[in-house]
Amino acid sequence: MATITARLLLSLSLCAAAAACAEDGAAPFDAKPVVKLNEPWAMTFLPDGRLLVTEKKSKLKVVTTDGKVGDVSGTPEVDYGGQGGFGDVVLHPKFADNGWVYLSYAEAGDGDTRGAAVARAKLVLDANGGGALEGFTVIWRQVPKKEGRGHYGHRLAFAPDGHLFISSGERQHFDPAQDMASNLGKILRLNDDGSVPKDNPFAAQGGVAAQVWSLGHRNPLGIAFDRAGTLWDVEMGPKGGDELNLVVRGDNYGYPIVSNGDHYDGKPIPDHDTRPEFHAPAVSWTPVISPSGFVIYSGKRFAGWDGNGLISGLSSKALVRVAFDGTKAKEVERYDMGERIREVEQGPDGTIWLLEDGSGGRLLHLTPKATAGAKS
């Protein structure tokens, strides 16, 4: 097994070879603060160009691109604390017809337990810049609920064919990631109403195993489909070993049996290359970037970015750009944003939007610099 020192040297050598480590650190964009929010966590664009933004204390906001903020009523009671609270928000692919939005959040269980839930509701916008959620219905829950307030995952993405994918963290309890009686530490595939597709890889096992698309994940905090319909995820490793994964139907990614990081108490975890039966990451990071959100860019405003992945980073305080080559990937640039970045999203016009983490976290609008080869 590689030592932590060897991992660090490898990471530094990779970084030195990448444009991300250029001394000038020049970014090809200008970052304009739009508005301050209270612990923002996720965002998505409405068809009219406004954003829906979640805040961890169960607030859903409608935000205009010039910073006007409206409130949406009907949000759920959340179990707030640690990493828990209001989570992701995405629109149904046919939102223009049905008005459905999908929301994830941490909910309390019996005793001192909690887990992630996903609900859908109809969003009814009003003339005052806000709106309401109607017909709020929970369609999925983490099973079982656990103690602690970490590693919910609960990122959402719709596949090109209309299936709903949910990332589910292992809740800092390790073993559930390999336990098919639990949907923790997994990526799940559901129909848009929360029912289980009959062609899921473990459907014959029944129960929550039938929901599973892939297993052996730690804390997946970003999932996105590329133009070819391939699913990728980014997830936090333990002490070292953050991952970008090509997510393959039925595959096992090995956690906590293998990881390119080690436990926080220093106890080693065997590397992926010691157990080739587990799917190894396309990219791993030591030191970590602490990935928090992920999109695959499909616009024209940033020359050379089309088809690249953009990862928001917490401890790295960065926007990380990765390039794909089939099933392979590599980091190509890293931009220092000066603050912990919680979320990244592409706007309808191909510009980039970021959410800073924490109380007073700003919504940032990134537009190409005139000298960055941008296209109008």
Interval 131-179: pLDDT, tens: 999 999 999 999 999 999 999 999 999 999 999 999 999 999 999 999 9
- Angle at the Cα of 354 (from 374 to 149), degrees rounded to 5? 155
Q: Quote the pLDDT of residue 258.
A: 98
Domain boundaries, the chain: 16-38+289-376
291 Cβ partners below 8 Å, 6+ apart? 221, 222, 234, 235, 236, 242, 244, 311, 312, 313, 314, 320
Interval 259-283: pLDDT, tens: 999 999 999 999 999 999 999 999 9
Alpha-helical runs (H) found in the chain: 4-16, 95-98
**What mean pLDDT is predicted for residues 346-365?**
98
Tell me the C-alpha distance between 113 and 34, whole Å. 37
Interval 97-110: pLDDT, tens: 999 999 999 999 99
Share of the chain above pLDDT 70, in %: 92
Interval 180-199: pLDDT, tens: 999 999 999 999 999 999 99
pLDDT at 373 over 90: no
Q: Quote the pLDDT of residue 266.
A: 92
Distances (CA, A) of 273 to 40, 280, 319: 38, 8, 28
Q: Mean pLDDT score of the chain, rounded to an integer? A: 93
109: DSSP letter: -
Q: Quote the pLDDT of residue 26.
A: 82
pLDDT at 128 over 90: yes
Q: From the centroid of its chain, how far is CA 84? A: 14
Report whether 68 contacts 129 (CB < 8 A).
Answer: yes
pTM value? 0.93
Q: Quote the pLDDT of residue 278.
A: 98
Q: Which residues participate in catalysis according to the annotation?
A: 151
Decide which of 374 and 302 is more confident: 302
